[in-house]
Structure 1
């Protein structure tokens, strides 16, 4: 008689623990990492006419989620040493319609986030950290997923941390974004109306 146990009480505990693990205030458990990217883009109101900068050196979902949102993926080159995008490679492909950057922390090697966040602040651009391969990674002492506006995580069977098949999470320090992502995850429901 535990129909809602895994999506209810146990899931809320996991979200709280994972938010603490990633040094963020909020987390929302989801079906997989692709859904995490989809929900992140939706929460940021990314859609038709928007450009989102991403690397091609990643799993397909990092770019396909942009297309699913109705936006345009714009591919930035990677640095030779890290195989990650950087402020330099992002600036080379910025457009007037750039609304977000997806920073993929490839194989646990995080993007150089300080210059990217500075650029994002200068241009009013959102940053999504794709942490599918970065559970436990640190950048200058800061946890992966705690630097950008939203982070998307995967717990697929071949990831660093798995939930036994599929699974995903979004994390954020922004309460408004968290509430939007929670609502998208649970059929438009409000977290407060259910749990408070």
Structure 2
């Protein structure tokens, strides 16, 4: 019963924090829920609470996705024995989660397009969507490894920042010996 009570305290704390828009520290969350530090670490490192808590800075968190949930639904999503886990549940960055979801959608769309018998020019569309999906997946991996700034080019004269290309993603993710022959030279 103690586990249920601490989950209820955790849920109430998150709903209040999200409703008020307040950020909170790891320590505040641990005290409010009545968890041990190791319990928080387990939930956070396994990605069990990343759908409800995002880190906005050094040890500062923000609550998300709790206002429209009942406690029972919250418990099911928090359970370590659940059968379904959200794509990117272990990602620390919301941007990398979003890129993973877009990558999955583009890959599925590419496959659906390729398997559509009525289209004559389906291969071109498949290749474009397939490359876009791999680029998004690669950028998500870079963000998780090196941070969100790692996928952006320096700002141009107008101050606009663009993301790096698929070629640059591959070069940053893999050592030169891994990519030999994969990326054509610019000569």
Q: TM-score range by the shorter chain?
A: under 0.3
Which one has the bigger helix percentage? 2
Q: Which has the larger radius of gyration?
A: 2
Q: Relative to total residues, which structure has the larger strand share, 1 or 2?
A: 1
Q: So what's the TM-score if we normalise by structure 2?
A: 0.24
Q: Structure 1-normalised TM-score?
A: 0.23
